[in-house]
Structure 1
Amino acid sequence: MLIIPEQQASQLVSVEDAIDAVGDAFAASYAGKARSYPVVREQTGHADAVFGVKAGFDASLPVLGLKAGGYWPGNVKRGLGNHQSSVLLFDADTGRAVALVGANYLTGIRTGAASALATRGLASPDASILGIVGTGAQSIHQYRATCAVRPITHVLAWDPNPDNLRALRDLVEADGLRFDALSLEAVARHADVLITVTPSHMPLIRREWIRPGVHINAMGADTIGKQELEVELVAAASIVVDEIQQAISIGECQHAYARGLLTAEKLSLTLGGLVSGAQQRGAADDITIFDGTGTALQDLAVAALAYRRAQKEGLGFACDF
């Protein structure tokens, strides 16, 4: 087995690499060559933590494996990231465990990559104003991934934590872009691309704030009960999902679906169909939403890339297992 620590994993895969790898994984899924297995995600009843396992198989690589991890809200007080994850890869022919990969950074960039792929396929080509609601650690990956696919010149952001806003401001301004911290409403009203990435369990973004033609990446809802958008906004938009079942069970779509405002038939557009060119967005003035719940195939795509590169470059720590 090859053990690839977190620090090395972060050196092996760039944001651009992740966008390509995750795009290939979703295309493989749409073609029926890859699939994620049912997600396990539960409240532990200890330390307010949420723990989950996402597993899957991508025959196009091939790669078989799982990611285990979750969210520990008290970690920041310990000097640790709130999100903690590890990926275990198996030999698809024998079932032997071949790699253990530190996946905190990889989880961040694979999430940003999915968001970027949706933005590339759904947002206006000249979208230049990025709005970010929630400026924790994931916002950095969202910002960098969006800049990789759209000509962003101005970032608007909202967060109740001024330290989070300051950290994102420093990064954006160091890149030579304009940054403004605004109210929720102002961010939503003025963004060309709006990304919500919070742990909220109540709607933050109202339908009336969103202009025709705006694209939204709703990335925060990945557990039963989480919500960032008004159900009226979700029901009125053209929706693209990473996985239909996850969207209606743990994603942003769960609330509109539960109230009967959204049917499974309306969720026929998938990120796999979009990136493979088999499906396209609708009218230019449609509000579009990508419901990104996070899939095992994303995790396996970036972890497998890190594993291949670690082997090639002689990195990681080999051990008998």
Structure 2
Amino acid sequence: MQTLLLDSGDVDENTRMADLIAALEDAFAAYERGDAQMPAKSYIDLPQYNGDFRSMPAYLDAGEWDAAGLKWVNVHPNNPDDHELPTVMGTMIYSDPETAFPLAIMDGTELTMKRTGAAAAVATDYLAVEDATSMGIVGAGVQSYTQLEAVAEIRPIEEVVVSDLDDERVSRFVETFGDRFDVRGGSITEAGHCDVLSTVTPVRDPIVGLEDVGEHTHVNAMGADAEGKHELADELLQAATIVIDDHEQCTHSGEVNVPYNEGVLNDEDIYGEIGEIVVGEKEGRTADTGVTVFDSTGLAIQDVAAAHAVYAQAAGDEEGTPFDLVGVHE
């Protein structure tokens, strides 16, 4: 019995976005039902290297399948300049829950980008208008690509407006998707008046105001992943129907963390968690719903669900590199 090694290219090649979205939807439902274990993210702080490690373990039982795994990820801001390495690198260990055998070790960086897009797609499916054909994106970095790829799986997106201070990033994005969509660069307001808006920036001073979005725009707020990060103005959050992925994580480091901890927002201002909507405990968009916001911090159950989908595809197609990690011979 061998472990499958999947590098970033393998993860990319073996991601079927529709399958990934379905797996994350299953994960949100399992979490809401109580059929998942997700200990708090743990940190190892390394100030001498201006970096840290983070461990994200989880197990989930989705009914027809179950899965377990651990994502080991770092943040080392000095890496690009000092070592020609990425700031963030991740490794995913995917295990058989019954035997604990390590089924796969895969690149967690590519996996994270894919599952982040898929999470936005799940929320968009429940919260965006049914006939959404336009999508805006604020921030044209690496995360923006999977946002569009995933959302286009569940809505017939035709028009795309991307906004970024870096014109070269905008040009690369437009060139990448120009043969699939009517895509152009534009202002934050132009992007925000699309049917769906994804924000994927690391800002700490809000850049999207209430006036920047349409009356029924659904916003995927994906950029905030640490205390102090804040993409959407308080007035926009106060006016919107807010759906979160996890209360503890979102109030600590998600889009709502700043206004929540300043007392601008409270629990009554948060409509619910995405899992509650997936399992039918709360309604998604209705005819009376205005602006909606999905606050996504990224959960370990999402990584495990994504690893499950990628591994199933790779193993079925005999992709990746099998190797004898444990020393169990058939």
- TM-score in same-fold range (> 0.5): yes
Q: Does the 8 A contact of 1:213 with 1:284 survive in 2?
A: no
Question: Is residue 210 from structure 1 mapped to residue 218 from structure 2 by the alignment?
Answer: no
| Match of residue 231 from structure 1 | 234
CA contact (8 A) 1:63 1:300 kept: yes
Letter in 1 for 2:184: D
Cα offset, 1:129, TM superposition: 1.8
Give matches, 1:13-162, under 5 Å: 13-40=15-42, 44-45=46-47, 49=51, 51-60=53-62, 61-73=65-77, 82-162=87-167
Q: Which residue of 1 aligns with 2:277?
A: 274
Distance 1:208 1:48 in 2: 38
CA distance in 2, matches of 1:254, 1:235: 13
* Shift in alpha-carbon separation, 1:47–1:160, aligned structure 2, 3 A: farther
Match of 2:291 in 1: 287
Q: What is the identity, as a one-letter code, of the residue corresponding to 1:199? A: P
The answer to whether the Cα contact below 8 Å between 2:189 and 2:213 also exists between their aligned partners in 1 is no
In structure 2, the partner of 1:167 is 172
Could you say if the C-alpha distance between residues 14 and 70 of structure 1 is closer, same or farther in structure 2, counting changes exceeding 3 Å? Answer: farther
Give 5+ residue unaligned stretches, structure 2: none
**Any idea what the Cα deviations from partners look like across 1:4-46, whole Å, max 9, x if unmatched?**
2222222212221211111111111112111422123576436
- C-alpha RMSD of matched pairs (Å): 2.3
Higher mean alpha-carbon deviation, 196-205 vs 282-291, is at 282-291
Cα 1:167/1:70, change in 2 over 3 Å: farther
Change in 2 beyond 3 A, CA 1:151/1:208: same
TM-score of the two chains, using structure 1 as the length reference = 0.90
Deviations 1:46-87 (Å, cap 9, x if unpaired)? 665564222211023321221111445566667765542111
**Residue type matched to 2:257 in 1?**
Q
Change (3 A) 1:195 1:230: same
- 2:188 and 2:212 in contact (8 A); partners too: no
SS in 1 for 2:197: strand
Q: TM-score, normalised by structure 2?
A: 0.88
Question: For residues 246 and 26 of structure 1, do their structure 2 counterparts lie closer, same or farther at Cα, with a shift above 3 Å needed?
Answer: same
SS state at 2:254 partner:
coil
Return the offset for 1:203: 0.7
- Corresponding residue pairs, total: 319
Q: Which amino acid counterpart does residue 251 of structure 1 have in structure 2?
A: G
1:96-144 per-position Cα deviation (integer Å, ceiling 9, x unaligned): 5442111222211110011011111111112222110001111110011
- The alignment partner of 1:269 has SS state of strand
